[in-house]
Amino acid sequence: MSLQSSTPEALRVVNLLQERNLLPPTPIPAPMPCLPQDLQKVNCNPEVFRCTLTSIPQTQSLLNKAKMPLGLLLHPFKDLSQLPVVTSSTIVRCRSCRTYINPFVSFLDQRRWKCNLCYRVNDVPEEFMYNPVSRAYGEPHKRPEVQNATIEFIAPSEYMLRPPQPAVYLFVLDVSHNAVETGYLNVFCQSLLDNINALPGDSRTKVGFITFDSTIHFYNLQEGLSQPQMLIVSDIEDIFLPTPDSLLVNLNECKELVQDLLKNLPNLFQKTMETQSALGSALQAAFKLLSPTGGRMSVFQTQLPNLGVGALQSREDPNQRASAKDIQHLSPATDFYKKLALDCSGQQVAVDLFLLSAQYCDLASLGCISRYSAGSVYYYPSYHHQHNPAQVERFQKDLKRYLTRKIGFEAVMRIRCTKGLSIHTFHGNFFVRSTDLLSLPNVNPDAGFAVQMSIEENLDDMQVVSFQAALLYTSSKGERRIRVHTLCLPVVNSLSDIFAGADVQAITGLLACMAVDRSVTASLSDARDAMTNAAIDSLASYRQSVLTIQQPGLLAPACLRLFPLYILALLKQKAFRTGTSTRLDDRVFAMCQLKYQPLAYAMLMIHPALYRVDDLTDEGALNINERTIPQPRVLQLSVEKLNREGAFLMDTGMIMYLWVGRNCNPNFLTQVLGVPSYTAVPDNLLTLMTSLRRDQSDFYMIIQTLKIPWCSFRDESQLKSSFMQNMIEDRTEAALSYYEFLLHLQQQISK
């Protein structure tokens, strides 16, 4: 299978010390480089499933010589606009390795197909001979399963160990004095009231509530009561459920009582002076309540747990934040939260943690409850309903998405690959049940996974190899479903072909996951060295083994031209930076995000996208809903790209910043932002959001397509430092500029 004409461009020699404008004009992920046209057409969407190398080396020794990591990045439950769904009593799979039939199998004739993973020849079942789409008989190769690299099956009964569970949601809420002070409870209760009818589920959906401080409070919401009944358990050492049958109730039957509770809950604890937090006992109680069914536990915590099981003590020394080269306490202080998470996983319970705190909370310990139960972690440092409106808006938007997004229950995911390849390390939030099976009590559309791979046997006689991820889950409507993604890539035997197929974003994403693990198991300085060495080693290998004419400079193939920039960006990222005061929880949260986010989100965390937005034209515009939307060009992350005449938008994945220069065009201020003058540009993003003029503003349309919170601020604002921290090409007291980093790499390569 020959490589396409794009290969020479991928291998075009770039001298990084001379070429500065390396960024693509838009941050939209490109299709996987270097794929033959026939594979590109039918292959899996690269935003769902991609490989660090789109041309697979024939041997492990060839891979070692290229000095690049081999791995997969996966976004298995991504929201997809067009997902073929097949209902069939016979799901066709290989009898030997259990691979699902897919576009990359070969039909020997109408009655036999050959597996693309283990090469066994299988019979085509009679039912598969009929094509439900064309309604024709005898065309098995035209079935949807063989036409689509991503497909979903509605599973027959043999895919169920028990009847599919209902959607079950349990909310566990900190109501200590500290929690009430932050004002989060009002926002939570209002959000759930607003979205209660949009919770994914059916007529069997159940909900329940637990609140806690130094004691645990349950709520009887059983039909027939005139109002919710609070039941307090003060023996936190030996936790029990006061009325097991009335604490989780059918949402449809008891909706009025649930709404009544949500309206009154913030007032119940308004005058509390209780400062203690028995989080561990609350989690044990919640686990007991959810164990019979499984479900989702949503935990809201605002301080360090300081009472009963799972109590923690502060491990952060603020004086060590900037000076220490190696950061202590990145691993958990206790195994309580991990053990409980594994118990949860065994009972199909996932725990999502919302941490809203101004103080140190030991996320390194608390985060284990989500990590091993396939949950998510949300973190809002310095959350306060009055003093931090930006965090409040982020919390509201996150909550709305969280409460209404699609969810899969009691899920497992298995990744298979062609004989000769093997999987050895997984990254993400899950429990590994067997070598290739991940236990995911819940799966959501915002979860990503990464996998490291190796080549165990030579792939000499193979033209292509395939990877398949199969996610078996229960939908919120109680259907057992299987979503299958298949990726097929060519096998090559030359280093130049391997380099031509390097996917620089996927490589960066996988290295970030590996560096997080290394920071915890070895040290932060070890992880930083490993990332720098990854850039040095791959560029040295390219120089020695691929370049035919040696020339001065720091040389990279065009496909890897952004690799040193992304590595520098990682070194300056909150997760890995040194010499800058970084709170321990902030650092640990950044590490969680890098391991758990799908690649598209993680790349914006690593290298935010910066645009100038006050001078947009129709050049390169997009057409959205029959409106022409200007497409701003991505700028380098350097102060030299900013000026006081402009307005600049930065997308960091989690939040967007709009910086307005002192001398910004008055027309932009009045016609687009709807403010009369520069001094009227608010730091309060909510004010600006409501004053934007839909009818006059293409800019508004751009913002609307990015459903994340955003901050506007003037030149002299306090928010400017957060914005400037992302200017990764510039020198800081503690870190090299991009040009200095390139010189360092060149020096190491020429040693």
- 547 found inside a domain: yes
| Gyration radius of the chain over CA positions | 27
pLDDT exceeds cutoff 60 at 376: yes
Contacts (Cβ under 8 Å, ≥6 apart) of 587: 327, 330, 574, 575
Single residue among 405, 436, 455 that ends a domain in this structure = 405
392 and 338 assigned to the same domain: yes
SS (H, E, C) 382-449: CCCCCCCHHHHHHHHHHHHHHHHCCCEEEEEEEEEECCCEEEEEEECCCEEEECCEEEEEEECCCCCE
Q: Say which residue, 408 or 707, is predicted with more confidence.
A: 408
Tell me the C-alpha distance between 313 and 289, whole Å: 28
243 and 353 assigned to the same domain: yes
374 and 469 assigned to the same domain: no
Which of 6-15, 31-40, 110-119 shows the lowest mean pLDDT across its residues?
A: 31-40
Q: What is the per-residue pLDDT for 2?
A: 35
> Which residue, 184, 354, 216, is CA-closest to 288?
216
pLDDT exceeds cutoff 80 at 62: yes
Name the DSSP class of 53. Answer: B
Q: Are 398 and 406 in contact (CB under 8 A)?
A: no
The model's pLDDT over 554-608, given as tens digits with 9 standing for 90+, comes to 999 999 999 999 999 999 999 999 988 899 999 999 999 999 999 999 999 999 9
- What confidence tier does 685 reach under pLDDT thresholds 50, 70, 90? low
- 594 found inside a domain: no
Q: Which helix (H) or strand (E) holds 599?
A: helix 599-606
Q: State the chain's mean pLDDT as an integer.
A: 90
Tell me the C-alpha distance between 465 and 1, whole Å: 12
State how far the alpha carbon of 357 is from the alpha carbons of 133, 187, 216, 384, in Å: 54, 15, 21, 8
- Domain range for 691 is 608-724
> Which residue, 155, 487, 518, is CA-closest to 330?
518
- 744 found inside a domain: no
415 and 533 assigned to the same domain: yes
- What confidence tier does 625 reach under pLDDT thresholds 50, 70, 90? low
SS (H, E, C) 238-275: CCCCCCHHHCCEECCCCHHHHHHHHHHHHHHCCCCCCC
Q: What is the per-residue pLDDT for 628?
A: 60
- 203 found inside a domain: yes
416 and 560 assigned to the same domain: yes
CATH number at residue 134: 2.30.30.380
pLDDT exceeds cutoff 50 at 695: no
Which of 3-7, 120-124, 411-415, 531-535 shows the lowest mean pLDDT across its residues?
A: 3-7
- What confidence tier does 546 reach under pLDDT thresholds 50, 70, 90? very high
Q: Are 644 and 663 in contact (CB under 8 A)?
A: yes
Q: What is the per-residue pLDDT for 278?
A: 98
Q: What is the per-residue pLDDT for 550?
A: 82
31 and 94 assigned to the same domain: no
Strand partners, 727: none
Give percent of the chain above pLDDT 70: 91
The model's pLDDT over 146-200, given as tens digits with 9 standing for 90+, comes to 999 999 999 988 888 889 999 999 999 999 999 999 999 999 999 999 999 999 9
- What confidence tier does 36 reach under pLDDT thresholds 50, 70, 90? low
- 736 found inside a domain: no
Helix, strand, coil fractions of the chain, as percent rounded to 5: 35, 25, 45
Single residue among 147, 177, 201 that ends a domain in this structure = 147
CATH number at residue 630: 3.40.20.10
- 709 found inside a domain: yes
The model's pLDDT over 91-107, given as tens digits with 9 standing for 90+, comes to 999 999 999 999 999 99
CATH number at residue 466: 2.60.40.1670
- 152 found inside a domain: no
pLDDT exceeds cutoff 80 at 66: yes
Which of 261-275, 422-436, 714-728 shows the lowest mean pLDDT across its residues?
A: 714-728
Between the CA atoms of 534, 535, 540 and 542, what dihedral angle is there, to the nearest 10 degrees? 100
- What confidence tier does 470 reach under pLDDT thresholds 50, 70, 90? very high
Mean pLDDT of 663-686: 82
135 and 44 assigned to the same domain: no
452 and 502 assigned to the same domain: yes
400 and 416 assigned to the same domain: no
Name the DSSP class of 623. Answer: E
347 and 481 assigned to the same domain: no
pLDDT exceeds cutoff 90 at 656: no
- What confidence tier does 42 reach under pLDDT thresholds 50, 70, 90? confident
Which of 3-7, 40-44, 287-291 shows the lowest mean pLDDT across its residues?
A: 3-7
524 and 568 assigned to the same domain: yes
In the chain, the N- to C-terminal Cα span, in Å, equals 38
Q: What is the per-residue pLDDT for 693?
A: 43
Mean pLDDT of 418-446: 94
> Which residue, 120, 280, 162, is CA-closest to 210?
280
Q: What is the per-residue pLDDT for 673?
A: 81
Tell me the C-alpha distance between 504 and 27, whole Å: 13
Q: Say which residue, 702 or 606, is predicted with more confidence.
A: 606
Most confident range (mean pLDDT) of 155-159, 370-374, 388-392 is 370-374
CATH number at residue 213: 3.40.50.410
Q: Say which residue, 240 or 682, is predicted with more confidence.
A: 240
Tell me the C-alpha distance between 577 and 595, whole Å: 17
pLDDT exceeds cutoff 50 at 234: yes
Single residue among 382, 405, 428 that ends a domain in this structure = 405
Domain count for the chain, please give it. Answer: 4
Mean pLDDT of 514-524: 96
Q: What is the per-residue pLDDT for 681?
A: 85
641 and 704 assigned to the same domain: yes
